[in-house]
C-alpha cells in the first residue's frame, strides 16, 4: 500500500510508540488523512540523505539530476496547490516553495537534459563558432568526395572516435594526404582525416574544451543553488515519505474496515479479528472479550484447534497495531489499555545451538515478562505444559499469582484441569474458554472454563470406538463430572446470551419506532405552527383594514355588523371536554390523533394507551369512550 520504496522499508520496521500521547497523535493524523477521499500519487527524487552525502564530494550535479529535481519541485508545487483549500491542507502546506529554482533550471537546461545555448553569452558564442567550423569541415570533405569520387568506397562523411574521416579505397591510400585513423574489417577501406581540415579540427577541439568548461561553470552555479536549499529539500523528502506512510495506514484501515482505537484502563474487544486470518477466510468468528481492572488474569481453556492461540494473537496484534498508530480490526466500542510492554510466549523456542530445551525456552520468556513493567500485557500459550502435570500446575499457579501481584494483564491458555479450579477460586482471576458443541465453534466464552474434549475430537478424527471406550476407563471420574458441569454451564450461558440478544433487538426496535413517532409529532407541530402563524398574520391585516374603515366611515350599522361577524368566526372559544376515566384494558380514542388504542396503565389523571405497540401517556380530557360514540 506504500508507493515509495523507502516507505515500504520503514513500514517493515514499525516500532510501537513509547507513550499513549504519541500513539494517539499518529492515529489522529491517519484519521485526518482519511478525509482526503482520493488517490494521491507520491514520489521522491532520490533516497533521503542523498544530497547530504553527495554534495560535499561532487563538483556539480549532472543535467539529469537537475532535471529530476526540477520535475520533483513542480510535483511539490502542484501537490500544495491541489490541497490548498481542503481539510487536509496542513499536511501539504509545510512543503517548501521552489519556483525560483524551477525557473533557473528551466532557463539553463532543456527538456532533453541539454544545456541551452543561451545559458550564458560565452556558451552561445562558443556554440555559434563551433557550428561555423563544423560546417566548414563538412563543406571541405564534401568537396573532396564530389571532385574525386573514384577514390572512395562511399560518398558519405564518416565519424570515427569523434573525428571526421573519409572512406578511401585501399589502393588509393597514397592519393589522399592526411592521417590514417583505422581500417574496415575487410581491410579494403582506409579511414583518413584529410590534411586540409587538420587546423580547423584543432580549433574545433579547442572550442569543445571551452564548451565543457562553460557547461561545468553553469552546472556549478545550479548546484550551488541546490546546495543552499539542501535542508529544505531533504525535509520535504521526509514529509512526502511521512504522508505516504499515513496514506498507507489509512488505506489499510479502509481495507480492513478497521476503527480508531480508544485507550482506556480496561480491555474490551468488540467483534475483533486477526487481520491475516481475515485475509485467508472472510467468515471469521469475531472475538468478543471484556475484562475489568479487578480480574486481570484470564485462563483460556477448550479443545485443540478450537482457537485458543488465535485469541492470544488477536489481542496481541490489536494492542501492537494501536501502539504503532494504526486503526484496529475491531468494531466501535473496543477499548484497550496502553501497555508499557507486550510479552508473548507462543510457539516452541527450542534451540539446539543455544542448548535450550522446550521447557527452558519457555521459562526464559516468562522470566523476561516477570522482570518487565507492571503495566504489561502478557500472552502465555499452553502455560507450563512442557513438564509434569503436578509440577507444571504448581509452577503455573505461582507464576499467575506473581503476575496478579504486579497487576499485569495476562491471557494464558491451558488444558490443565487443576489450573481451571485454581483460577475459579481467585477473586483477581477469571476463567474463559472456546466453545465446543459437536465440533469447535471458535466462539470465546468469558466466565466459564471449557473442557478439552480430546476424546470427542479423537473420535471425530477416526480413532476406533474401542480405543475411545478404553480411554474413558482411565479418566478421573470427578474431573469428568467437572467437565460435564462446564458443558452444561456453557449451554445455559449460550441460552441466556441468545435471549439477551433477542431482548436487545426488541429494545432497538422500540427505540427506533419511538424516535420515528417523535419526529412525526415534531413535524406535525411545526406544520400547525406555520399554519396558525399565517392565519394570525391574515387576521391582523383584516383587523387593521376594519379599523381603517371605522375611522373613515364611523360606527355605521353595516360596519359594526361586519366586525361582529369577523370576531364570531375568527375568535371562537375552543371546546372544553369533560375528563373521561376508562378501565384498564378498555379500548378508547385519543382525540388529537383520532386513533383507537388500549389502556394498559393509570397514574392519576394520566393513562398509558398502546397504539400498535407504541405507547402514549394521555390526559383524561384528551381521550373519549368508544361506547359513548357508538
Over residues 465-506, the pLDDT tens digits come to 777 667 666 665 555 555 655 665 666 666 666 777 777 777
Q: Report yes or no: 456 and 483 within 8 Å, Cβ to Cβ.
A: no
The C-alpha cell of 328 is what? 484496529
Q: List pLDDT tens digits, range 138-186.
A: 888 888 888 888 888 888 888 887 788 888 888 888 888 888 888 888 8
- The secondary structure of the chain in percent helix, strand, coil, rounded to multiples of 5, reads 55, 15, 30
Checking if the pLDDT of 350 tops 60, the result is no
Rounded Cα gap, residues 131 and 137, in angstroms: 10
pLDDT number for residue 497:
66
> What is the DSSP code string of 176-206?
S-EEEEEE-TTS-EEEEEEGGGHHHHHHHHH
**Residue 234 dihedral angles phi and psi, to the nearest 5°:** -65, -40
Q: Which of 479, 334, 337 is nearest to 418 (CA)?
A: 479
> Burial level of 384, CB count in 10 A (0-12/13-18/19+)?
buried
Beta bridge partners of 160: 163
Residue 337: pLDDT band with limits 50, 70, 90: very high
Integer CA distances (angstroms), 133 to 6, 136, 202, 208, in order: 50, 5, 10, 11
Handedness of CA 494, 499, 500, 506 (dihedral sign): positive
Q: Is the pLDDT of residue 571 over 60?
A: no
In 3D space, the residue among 196, 151, 153 whose CA is nearest the CA of residue 175 turns out to be 151
Cα dihedral sign, 24-30-31-33? positive
Predicted local confidence at residue 86, as pLDDT: 83
Mean pLDDT, residues 562-570: 61
Q: Is the pLDDT of residue 238 over 90?
A: yes
CA distances from residue 408 to 326, 341, 400 in whole angstroms, order as listed? 24, 10, 10
Helix (H) or strand (E) holding 364: helix 358-370
**What is the pLDDT at residue 534?**
80
Question: Over 50: is that where the pLDDT of 278 sits?
Answer: yes
| Cell representation of residue 88 | 487536509
Cα(242)–Cα(597) distance, integer angstroms:
64
Highest-pLDDT range among 298-302, 464-468, 569-573: 298-302
pLDDT at 176: 84
DSSP 502-520: HHHHHHHHHHHHHHHHHHH
pTM of the model: 0.67
- Flag the least confident range among 478-482, 608-612, 613-617: 478-482
Cβ-based neighbour number of residue 82 at 10 Å: 13
- pLDDT value at residue 312: 93
**pLDDT above 90 (res 327):** yes
At residue 78, the pLDDT reads 92
CA 558 to chain centre: 81
pLDDT in tens, 74-113: 999 999 988 888 888 888 889 999 999 999 999 999 988 8
In what helix (H) or strand (E) does residue 137 lie, and over which residues does it extend?
A: helix 121-147
Query: Residue 565: what pLDDT?
Result: 63
Laid out side by side, the sheet with 189-194 consists of: 158-160, 163-169, 189-194, 178-183
Confidence bin at 212 (pLDDT 50/70/90): very high
Phi-psi region of 187 (alpha: psi -120 to 50; beta: other; left: phi over 0): left
3-state secondary structure 9-78: HHHCCCCCCCCHHHHHHHHHHHHHHHHHCCCCCCCCCCCCCHHHHHCCCCCCCCHHHHHHHHHHHHHHHH
Residue among 428, 436, 433, 429 nearest 449 (CA): 433
pLDDT of residue 348: 56
Between the CA of residue 228 and those of 219, 231, 603, what are the distances in Å? 14, 8, 84
Per-residue model confidence (pLDDT) at position 573: 46
Q: Smallest Cα–Cα separation from 68: which of 87, 49, 43, 89? A: 43
Dig out the grid coordinates for 549 from the structure: 374603515
Q: Which percentage of the chain shows pLDDT scores above 70?
A: 87
CB atoms within 10 A of CB 630: 5
> Cα–Cα distances in Å, from 194 out to 140, 182, 550?
9, 13, 126
8 A C-beta contact, residue 313 and residue 352: no
- Say whether pLDDT at 355 is over 60: no
Phi and psi based region of residue 18 (left: phi greater than 0; alpha: psi -120 to 50; beta: remaining): alpha
Give per-residue pLDDT as tens, 249-260.
998 898 888 999
Amino acid at each position: 500500500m506504500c508507493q515509495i520504496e523507502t516507505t515500504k522499508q520503514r513500514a517493515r520496521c514499525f516500532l510501537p510508540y513509547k507513550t499513549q500521547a504519541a500513539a494517539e497523535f499518529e492515529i489522529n493524523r491517519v484519521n485526518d488523512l482519511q478525509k482526503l477521499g482520493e488517490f494521491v500519487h507520491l514520489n521522491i527524487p532520490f533516497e533521503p540523505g542523498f544530497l547530504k552525502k553527495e554534495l560535499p564530494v561532487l563538483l556539480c550535479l549532472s543535467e539529469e539530476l537537475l532535471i529530476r529535481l526540477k520535475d520533483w519541485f513542480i510535483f511539490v508545487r502542484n501537490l500544495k496547490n491541489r490541497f490548498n483549500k481542503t481539510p487536509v491542507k496542513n499536511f501539504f502546506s509545510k512543503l517548501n516553495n521552489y519556483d525560483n529554482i524551477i525557473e533557473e533550471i528551466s532557463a539553463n537546461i532543456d527538456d532533453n537534459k541539454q544545456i541551452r545555448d543561451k545559458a550564458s553569452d560565452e556558451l552561445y558564442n562558443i556554440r555559434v563558432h563551433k557550428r561555423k567550423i563544423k560546417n566548414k569541415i563538412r563543406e571541405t570533405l564534401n568537396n573532396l568526395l564530389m571532385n574525386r569520387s573514384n577514390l572512395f568506397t562511399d560518398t558519405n562523411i564518416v565519424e570515427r572516435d569523434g573525428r571526421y574521416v573519409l572512406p578511401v579505397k585501399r589502393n588509393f591510400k597514397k592519393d589522399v594526404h592526411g592521417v590514417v585513423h583505422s581500417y574496415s574489417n575487410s581491410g579494403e577501406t582506409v579511414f583518413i582525416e584529410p590534411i586540409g581540415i587538420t587546423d580547423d579540427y584543432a580549433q574545433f577541439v579547442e572550442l569543445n574544451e571551452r564548451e565543457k568548461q562553460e557547461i561545468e561553470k553553469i552546472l556549478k552555479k545550479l548546484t550551488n543553488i541546490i546546495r543552499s536549499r539542501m535542508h529544505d529539500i531533504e525535509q520535504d523528502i521526509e514529509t512526502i515519505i511521512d504522508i505516504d506512510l499515513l496514506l498507507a495506514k489509512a488505506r489499510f484501515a479502509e481495507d480492513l474496515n478497521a476503527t480508531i482505537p480508544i485507550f482506556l484502563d480496561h480491555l474490551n474487544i468488540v467483534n475483533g479479528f486477526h487481520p491475516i486470518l481475515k485475509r485467508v477466510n472472510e467468515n471469521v468468528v469475531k472475538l468478543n472479550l471484556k475484562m475489568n481492572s479487578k480480574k486481570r488474569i484470564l485462563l483460556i481453556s477448550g479443545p485443540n484447534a478450537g482457537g485458543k492461540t488465535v485469541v492470544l494473537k488477536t489481542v496481541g496484534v490489536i494492542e501492537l497495531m494501536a501502539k504503532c498508530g494504526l486503526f484496529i480490526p475491531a468494531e466501535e466500542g473496543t477499548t484497550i489499555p496502553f501497555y508499557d510492554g507486550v510479552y508473548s510466549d507462543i510457539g516452541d523456542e527450542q534451540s539446539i545451538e543455544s542448548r535450550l530445551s522446550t521447557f527452558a525456552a519457555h521459562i526464559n520468556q516468562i522470566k523476561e515478562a516477570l522482570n518487565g513493567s507492571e503495566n504489561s500485557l502478557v500472552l502465555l500459550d499452553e502455560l507450563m505444559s512442557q513438564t509434569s502435570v503436578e509440577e507444571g500446575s504448581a509452577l503455573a499457579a505461582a507464576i499467575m499469582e506473581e503476575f496478579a501481584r504486579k497487576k499485569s494483564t495476562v491471557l494464558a491458555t491451558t488444558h490443565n484441569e487443576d489450573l481451571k479450579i485454581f483460577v475459579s477460586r481467585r477473586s483477581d482471576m477469571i476463567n474463559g474458554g472456546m466453545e465446543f458443541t459437536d465440533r469447535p465453534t471458535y466462539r470465546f466464552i468469558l466466565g466459564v472454563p471449557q473442557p478439552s474434549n480430546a476424546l470427542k475430537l479423537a473420535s471425530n478424527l477416526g480413532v476406533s470406538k474401542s480405543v475411545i471406550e478404553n480411554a474413558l476407563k482411565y479418566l478421573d471420574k470427578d474431573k469428568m463430572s467437572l467437565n460435564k458441569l462446564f458443558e452444561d454451564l456453557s449451554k445455559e450461558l449460550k441460552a441466556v446470551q441468545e435471549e439477551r440478544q433477542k431482548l436487545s433487538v426488541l429494545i432497538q426496535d422500540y427505540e427506533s419506532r419511538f424516535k420515528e413517532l417523535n419526529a412525526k409529532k415534531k413535524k406535525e407541530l411545526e406544520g400547525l405552527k406555520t399554519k396558525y402563524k399565517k392565519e394570525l398574520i391574515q387576521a391582523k391585516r383584516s383587523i387593521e383594514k376594519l379599523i381603517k374603515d371605522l375611522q373613515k366611515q364611523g360606527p355605521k350599522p353595516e360596519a359594526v355588523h361586519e366586525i361582529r361577524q369577523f370576531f364570531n368566526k375568527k375568535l371562537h372559544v375552543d371546546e372544553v371536554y369533560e375528563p373521561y376515566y376508562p378501565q384498564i384494558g378498555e379500548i378508547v380514542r385519543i382525540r388529537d390523533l383520532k386513533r383507537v388504542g388500549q389502556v394498559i396503565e393509570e397514574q392519576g389523571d394520566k393513562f398509558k394507551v398502546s397504539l400498535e405497540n407504541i405507547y402514549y401517556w394521555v390526559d383524561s380530557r384528551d381521550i373519549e369512550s368508544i361506547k359513548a360514540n357508538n
